[in-house]
Structure formats: C-alpha cells, structure tokens
Chain A
Amino acid sequence: MDSSAPILQATNLHKRYGATTALDEVSFSLYPGEVCGLLGENGAGKSTLVKVLSGIVIPDAGEIILDRLPYHPRNILDAKAAGLSTAFQELSLIPTLSVAVNLFLPKPKVNALRLVSMRSLEEEASAILNQYGITGVSPSALIGDLPLAARQRIEIVRAMLQNPRVLLLDEPTAALSEREWLFGLVDGLIARGTSILYVTHRLDEVRRLCKRCIMLRNGKKVLEASTAGMTDDDVFSKMAGRSVVESYPVRESSINDSAPPVLEVRHISAARVNEISFAVRRGEVLGVVALEGQGQSALFKALVGLTPLKQGHLVVDGKRVVIRSPRAARVAGLVLVPEERKSEGIFNDLSTAANISIPIINQAASFDFIRGKRERRLVERGAALVDLHSRYLPPNIDALSGGNQQKAILARSLLTEPKCLLLFDPTRGVDVGTKYNIYRVIRTFVREGGAALFYSTELDELVHLCDRCIVIYRGTVVAEVSEKELSPHVLLSLAAGHASEATQSMITANSRNGTSR
C-alpha cells in the first residue's frame, strides 16, 4: 500500500441541526497506520463527526473517500462493510444480552439450522476476552450486570474484532481507570497498519498515542498539527478559544473545624460497602480514590438512600439522620451528582431549564401552578452559578453536549442549597474548559461553607482539587491521605491495595492524624 496516500479523506463535511451547525466545512485525512487525535470541547462537533463517519448521521454536504473509493454510509453496516468500525462513547451494548452475544452482534454465527449456539458463541467469546486481556468477565454474564468499565472494554473489543482498516474510538477511556490496557491494544493495531481516529479530552492520551491531531471548535476545524510541536497551553487556548494558563483553580483551604463536620459517616455497611467511616468538614473537598468496582459506586448510592444501610448511620451537621430515599437525602442536605449522566442524571425529553428547576419547582409555583417568570429567574440564577449560557436553557437537554448537561445537573444540585455535594466522577466525558468550570464551582461551593465528597477516575483531579483523600479498596477505607502527601503515584499504589513500605508508614501516620482530630 502506498503509505503516503490517505486511507480516509473527508472533504468539506457539513451538518446542521436546525439552527445549530454541528459540522462546518470540516476536511481531514487519516493515513494508514497512524493514530490521529480528535480534540475539542463538548459541543465542538466531535461526536457528530464520528457519527457521520459511522453512517449513523448523514451529512448535509461533503465527500468522504475511504480507501480510494467514494464512501457514503447510510447505516453502520455500510461502514462495517467498508472496513470502518466504531467504539461509541454512549456504549452500544444491549444490557439484557450476554457478553458473548453482544460481542457478535449484529450477526452472531448460526449453524445449519440457522440457530445461534450459545455454547460455541461463549467459547469463542471466552477466547477473545482472553486474547484481549479482559479478566474476571464471564462470557455468559449479562452486560447489564457488569460495571461500566467492563462494558466499555467490551465495547472497544467489539469494534476491534471486526479487523477494521479504520477504527474510531470515541472517548474510549471515559470509564476506564486502567488506560494502559487500551494503549497496548492501540499500539498493536497500528503496528498492523490499522488507522485510528482517537477522540478524547485528555491531552496526555493524545501525547502518548498520537503523532498528529486535529481539533474542532464550534463545528470548525481549528487546528491540525503534529503533537510533538504543541505545548499544552497551545492546545488549551485553541480548544477553548482563550488562554488557559492554569488548569486547576487555586486551592486555598477553607476548612472550618469549629463547627461539627457537615457529613459524618459512621461504620456504614451496605451491599459491597463494608464498615466505612469518614467525615467531611465544612469547607472541605474530600476525595474518594478507588480503582474500578471497589464499592465506591455502592457507597455513593448508600449515602443517598438508593441502597439500604445494613448497619451504621449518618450524621449531618451533628444531627443523626435516617435516609431512605434520595428525596430524604435532599431534605437532609445531601445531593448526588450521579455516575451515569444519560440514564440517572437527566430527563431526556424536558428542556434544560425544566431539568434544572425540577427539585425546587415548588418555589416557582403558586397553588401548584408553575409561574413561568419565577421559574425562569430561578433557573437563570442556577445557570449563572455554573456558567451555563442562557441560550442552552430552552432546548431539550439531550440536544446539549455532555459538558453542558453536567453543568445543568450541577446547577440543579446547587439550587437545592445542599450542605454536602456528593459528586461521582462529575467530569467524565467533559471537555477541558467545562472541567475547569466544574472545579471552580466545587471550590466556590466549599469556600462558601459547603462540603463535597468527590470521586474521580482521574487521579490528577483528586490531587489538585481535594483537601484530603480516602482510599477505598474492596469495599472499605484502607487509607487516608492528607493534602501534603497527595500525589498520583501514592494514590495509585494505595488504590491498588499493595502499598509500598514508604507509603505504608505514611498512611499510618496519616490515619493517626485523622483520628486525633
């Protein structure tokens, strides 16, 4: 193959949705055996571009040439037939079907009677899982029973299984905390001449994998450059259209020890949570560090009453509270920003404004009739807290990018005037600019007397944002790390459950500090 000829060449792609232009004259090329990064803020048009290339969205104008042939996919099968496959950000797996069946959709192998043999499918799937280094997942397990991270791995493997010439990975590490697994697979694929378009928010991933990257902003291509020559500052300023010098807000301690802790968790146990105790003080961001599936999700759910406590109790502002539902949690002052934004966070068919005002709609109502003006004032106040532009308020929330949806969820949470925000990976699938915004909102919230419990899959975030971190391993707190000792290295080794001697001694020192408080 002539290595200088692009395998995929898109020219002047254009796509409009009503008044918004999702793609504006986008042209780019992908060469054989390269990983090309696709960067951009949320709403920049990355997902639309991926969907156009996958045949899910038909562009209004523009040409695509794949392997020297004109390429006009009408659906995902056309794309597959042409040698292009996609691992989607929103995960295209079917929860009620098994891992094995999902891997081989849409056409699982059939025997002479046109029947699908589950046994041979599962055997084949087991070999594939092995080959791709996925452990601890049974091929007969239902997708819906697996944690998000395992589902994302299977989504990625399924796309790779097609032996595509062009592979699109849309935010493939959004739910993964062990990224090296993916990087290894990507290295293997490009060695075999596969071309990969790698959509991400994470600059370090682009630097690790891509020689070249392109960047979209507001549907336009604003940058095409080799990664070696770019500084982080270049990228941030191009992406956001402004210069971002520091990517984390200044962390000045605002902890107030004179009052009782805002949230005290005393020896709670629930499904997958074993005897956890900690306290979040006024003005503190307490980080939660854990690898995939260590019970952190169960902990957050137990705190807002989504799963029952088997033992232990919660104390809010020095008063013992009983929480059996998220509503009761909200009354007590605990508000969860949930893990799965799409299914747990938003009401798809409602406007962004309605999504924001839902928990406090009573404040805008007289005699149960909602007063439009009052609602609008409330919503605008909330939107201002999170820097959400008012033009995003009237449309349905599912028309918004992930980052703006997350801002809306934060606005909703803040409007209920919580005492303690419970944030479960709030920056997952969110662009750099919005991330910075979210950090700022969290710091502002605690500075003004709130408290926050913050779980993230990104260690960097925890290190820069939190006043203190607890480490959860196998459903229980195994360590507490103070601000001075916070570093990605320390957190990772603790989270993996095998602390080195040095960190071990530090933990004991810390936990002593913790208890003497």
Chain B
Amino acid sequence: MSQSTRGQRRPIPSSAFAALLYGIMFAIYLLYSPSAITLAGITDLLNNTIVLAIAAAGLTLVILTAELDLSSVGVIAVTNVIVATVSTKVPGGAFITLILVCLIGLLVGLINGWLVAFLGLQSLAATLGTMIACQGVALLILEAPGGEVAAFIMNRLTDTVFGFMPVAGLILLLAVAGWLLFRRTRLGIAIYAVGTDALAARLSGLNVKATKWLAFGLAGMAYGLAGYMLGAQTGTGDPRISNSFLLYVFAAVAIGGTPLGGGRGGVIGSVVGAGILTVMQKLLFAVGVAEFYTNIFNGVIMIVAILFGNLSAILSLRQKAIMSQHRDGQLVPN
C-alpha cells in the first residue's frame, strides 16, 4: 500500500525559479562586465549582497509565521554604529562586537516577539515602533556618519579564504546550511505550522506564542549580523541607513518566493532574492542607465521577478491536478 509518490509530488520550490532568474541576470551582467567572473569580481558581488541577504533571511523567519517585521533597518542602524564605535576600542574588538550585535539584535527581536505574541499587538505597528526607537538609539550612539571599524572586520570579512572562497560566500553558505538544518528542527517545523494555520497548530499542541517569539528573536539576531557586515563593507558607521533598504529586504523575500501569508517559502529563496536585487543594481550601473531610470528598472524587474516566482505556484497546481487524478485511480472502495 501507499507506494511513495515522492518524486512527482514535491512541487518545484520557488527558490529554484529565483535561482534561474539569478543565473540569467548574472549572465547578462557578464556581457557588460566580463571581469565579474573573476575571483575579485565575485567577491565584490557577494560583499555587496551579504547585508541584504542576511537581513532578508531573518525577515523570512518572521514572515513564515505570518507576521511582519519592519525593525530590520532599526536594528541594522544600531548595530552598525556599535561596530563603528566599539570594535576599535576594546581588545579583541571584532569578536566582542560580534557577540554584542547578536545580543542587541536578539534583544530587539525578543521585544518585538513579546509585543506581538504575548501582548497581541499588530506586528506591523509594533515593529514600526521598535524600528523608529532603534533609529533614535543609533543617533544617540553616533550622531553623524563616521566612527571607525576595526581593520580586521573591514579587511578579513571582505576578503577571501583558502585562496578561492570569498568570506561573504562562506558566510552565505553557512547561513544556507544552517537553514537546511534548522528546517528539520522542531522549531523549524513549528514555524511553518504556525504560519499556515495558527489555530490548527494550537490544537496540535504547538506553542504558537513561543514559536512566534523565537522567530522574532532569531530574526533580530540576523539583523544584528547584517549591521555588523554593513560595518565591514563600509568601514564606517551610519545612523541613518535609508528606509528604502527596508523595502529591498521585503522585496528580496518576495522575489525568493515566500508569500506574506506565511507557512510557505524559505530562507534560500530570500538569499537568492537578495542576490537578484544586487546583480540588478550592478547591471544597471554597468549598462550605464542614468540614475533617474534605475528606479523604474528596479521596480519593473522586481515585478517580473515576483511573476517568475509565481510560475512555481502555477506549475505545482497543475501537478496537483495530475496527482489527484492519479490518486483517484488508486482509490479502493470497499
């Protein structure tokens, strides 16, 4: 009985379509900028991707539970200025700052999660509040762009290791590997369950509140890391990271095939989505599109990317129809 129908049943993940789109865009980019395929070129591209990718990965966790989180830019602003003020002042500053930004991110995330899960506030409003508050804190720490980032962070984290592997690439690989393991943990499964149907999850015995709380906490930690990596990229602190970055974080998640409704999608798609957005910037720059037009292109390509991602939904629906016919044939009435 119940012969496994594994092979034909699993729908193609939407991250696969995002990856395909990434390949196409990267190829076009290569035409205009052949040096992109060199190690230096790839390192540069990954360095440009990593902040957005880590932030989008964090946001994905929250969106999977069917909540929203705007606090990323706030956390990034705070942790970025922390890197620019603390990392040079204490011995072993790079490491200590890393711990510090993770804790700060975790703290903000847990506050978000507490407001949303335990006090029942709307996540959009609650995280808007923490975002603005964090931006204020960032200005207190550093009132104007400046500061100094430890040389170790600036140089080593933007370089390569083992002579072929960009550090940023290594971090992304670790993030993806970590995600693949996380998906198989009870918390990972609970996040999908809670985002799909909170009531059913509760009736199944899952702790809906704790799951959301932890998802926000982990997301905050990711934003902290993103702020740290931003320090590595820019070498300075900037309390006024632009709010448009927030929209790119959401766009990366959407392009990666994680719908806002929760319960579907995943981190890998969001990382690829961040990659697509970054290549797009690079491509428009390489082509020499005037700055006025870049936003128009940005927007159009974003919509195309999301349409592309939806292809997977359409295809899996078809598959479902075929499958159910198949199942019908199998049915054994007694």
CB within 8 Å of B: which residues of A? 56, 75-77, 80, 86, 88, 90-97, 101-102, 105-108, 110, 113-118, 122, 126, 129-130, 135-142, 145, 178, 271-272, 291-295, 473-475, 495-497
Contact = CB atoms under 8 A, between A and B. Distances in A.
A178 B334 CA distance: 9
Given A107-B186, A122-B4, A130-B2, 14 more contacts: A56-B202, A90-B200, A92-B202, A93-B204, A94-B192, A95-B197, A106-B206, A107-B205, A110-B185, A138-B6, A271-B321, A272-B324, A475-B328, A495-B333
Nearest to B206: A106
A96 B185 CA distance: 16
A91 B324 contact: no
B186 A126 contact: no
Nearest to A140: B6
Contact of B205 (A76, A91, A135, A496): A76
A276 to B, nearest CB: 14
Residue among B181, B197, B330 having the largest count of chain A Cβ atoms under 10 Å: B197
B169 to A, nearest CB: 25
Interface string B261-283: 00110000000000000000000
A94 B197 contact: yes
B306 interface: no
Instruction: Give the interface residue-count category, chain B.
Output: 35 or more
A107 B9 CA distance: 25
A106 B205 contact: yes
Contact of B189 (A77, A116, A142): A116
A490 B207 CA distance: 49
Contacts of B244: none
B296 interface: no
B186 A110 contact: yes
Contact of A118 (B184, B193, B199): B184
Query: Sorted from nearest, which 8 A-B pairs have the closest CB atoms?
Result: A92-B203, A106-B205, A105-B204, A115-B184, A94-B193, A96-B196, A106-B206, A76-B205
A92 B204 contact: yes
A127 to B, nearest CB: 10
B190 interface: yes
Interface in B136-184: 181, 184
Interface string B305-334: 000000000000000110111011111111
A50 to B, nearest CB: 11
B38 interface: no
A52 B331 CA distance: 38
Q: Is the interface of B mostly helix, strand, loop or mixed?
A: helix
Contacts of B5: 138, 140-141
Contacts of A115: 181, 184-185
A145 B205 contact: no
A80 B203 CA distance: 11
B1 interface: yes
Contacts of A139: 2
Contact of A145 (B9, B203, B325): B9
A132 to B, nearest CB: 12
Interface string B187-216: 001101100110111111111000000000
A97 B196 contact: yes
Contacts of B199: 90, 92
13 contacts: A75-B207, A88-B203, A105-B189, A105-B193, A106-B186, A106-B190, A115-B181, A129-B2, A141-B5, A271-B321, A295-B328, A496-B334, A497-B333
Nearest to B193: A94
Contact of B2 (A75, A96, A106, A137): A137
A16 B324 CA distance: 44
Contacts of B263: 96
B186 A116 contact: yes
A114 to B, nearest CB: 6
A218 B91 CA distance: 72
Nearest to B319: A145
A93 B202 CA distance: 10
Contacts of A76: 202-205
Contacts of B201: 94
A293 B331 contact: yes
Contacts of A122: 4
A129 to B, nearest CB: 6
Contact of A94 (B196, B321, B324, B334): B196
A94 B328 contact: no
B185 A116 contact: yes
Nearest to A158: B204
A294 B320 CA distance: 16
A136 B332 contact: yes
Contacts of B186: 106-108, 110, 114, 116
B328 A135 contact: no
Contact of A130 (B1, B190, B200, B320): B1
A145 B321 CA distance: 10
Nearest to A270: B321
Contact of B327 (A130, A136, A497): A136
A398 to B, nearest CB: 11
B189 A97 contact: yes
A470 to B, nearest CB: 17
Contacts of A142: 9
Contacts of B203: 56, 76, 86, 88, 90, 92
Contact of B1 (A77, A136, A473): A136
B196 A474 contact: no
A86 B202 CA distance: 13
Interface in B1-33: 1-6, 9
A80 B205 CA distance: 9
Nearest to A498: B333
A115 B331 CA distance: 34
Residue among B328, B330, B333 having the largest count of chain A Cβ atoms under 10 Å: B333
Nearest to A290: B333
Given A102-B204, A140-B5, A293-B327, A135 B196 contact: no
B212 to A, nearest CB: 15
A141 B324 CA distance: 11
B204 A94 contact: yes
A292 B328 CA distance: 10
Residue among A96, A108, A178 having the largest count of chain B Cβ atoms under 10 Å: A96
A92 B193 CA distance: 11
A199 to B, nearest CB: 15
